[in-house]
Structure 1
Amino acid sequence: MLTLVVILFLLMNIHGNVAACVFPTELVGMWSSSDGGHLDITADEINDYRINLTVMLTVISFKCHDLYQGKYILKSSSSFLFNTFEFDAYLCVDFYKISSTKFTYQLASVVDPSLNERVVTSFAGNIPVLADICNRLRPTMTEHSLQKKDSQIAMFETTVLISRTTEPNIQLHLEAKTQKGPVEYAALIGGVVWRHAEPSKKDEETKGVQ
């Protein structure tokens, strides 16, 4: 009996506590993604995600399946058929919070050459080892943005994080204003913010260091 308990304990630790896989409350809601289209995120599921799983674009839901080194393992809510075989799809997602209405995320899997997507597929019911899903060692310059659709965004300005390198002290931002104001580019390098503003019709070009 003791041996059976030990085996069950080890199995739970290998595959993690699936029931505990939930997203932060701030991620729940409707989002616009730069990569996956318009997403409906619940406490444990991402709906309407666009991805190429066969020969054409597929809209599918992914369930929060497990956690691995701070990343979220997502499993397709339903299997998909390819060449008469059923497969499950897995994503490894690393979220970064910018604000309560802005997130960025990286897909921490290597590209599947047959699909040209950062996804891991497996025969239905055959769960891969988590390390084989999150198998991208150094994600770089491939962040995608999430903007909450129902957030109250100021009409005169919005900020979008367009990229972040593997160096934590280098970030690039793009701030876009309406026609009444300038378009501003900002780069955070070594803790110093460098800005360049393109003038509006009535403003002159300004450059400065903050």
Structure 2
Amino acid sequence: FNLLKFPDRQQALEKIRDLTCLSDILPTGYHGAVTAGVGPGSTVYVAGAGPVGLAAAASAQLLGAAAIIVGDVNPARIAHAKAVGFETVDLSQDASLGEQVAQILGVPEVDSAIDAVGFEARGHGHEGAKHEAPATVLNSLMEITRAAGKIGIPGLYVTDDPGGVDSAAKSGSLSLRLGLGWAKSHNFMTGQTPVMQYNRAL
């Protein structure tokens, strides 16, 4: 479901630069946007301004989102996201994510949220951003996603992490506020990207 085989090797090699977009990063970001329910007029928050996050933000544009906000703790990545036209929030600041979203949208929530960070997430705020906090992204997305909204999770989560910050993280367990997601009737989608589902459209 995620391996594309091209019938003509020579033709594929001639177009390899174009085809590389279909190989991993773009479909992963696109999958995050699709599973987050992004559509015309949506307001979208993307956690992570790395390659997958920017692919998710670009995909949200393709799907018709009205407002796309990208958040990160890395100043260079934030600057790049801003330079290519996305609204940005700096998660190393002490203002909460909801407060920063409200400064842009006028309300502290979005229709759709995408986790393009995964298990190596850092905390929020001046001090929090200095330390790994694997559940931070998912918990913050539940806080800012509107009731009945969707959260796409292309960010990688693992079954075990020997370098995890605590015993729970080492076994792939996270302290999630799942009760909040339940109370807000959120829809979560995660897992490997089914590239073949998207390759023709992309």
Say whether the fold is shared (TM-score over 0.5): no
Q: Flag the structure with larger Rg.
A: 1
Is the helix fraction higher in 1 or 2?
2
Report the TM-score, using the length of structure 2 for normalisation.
Answer: 0.27
* Structure number with higher strand proportion: 1
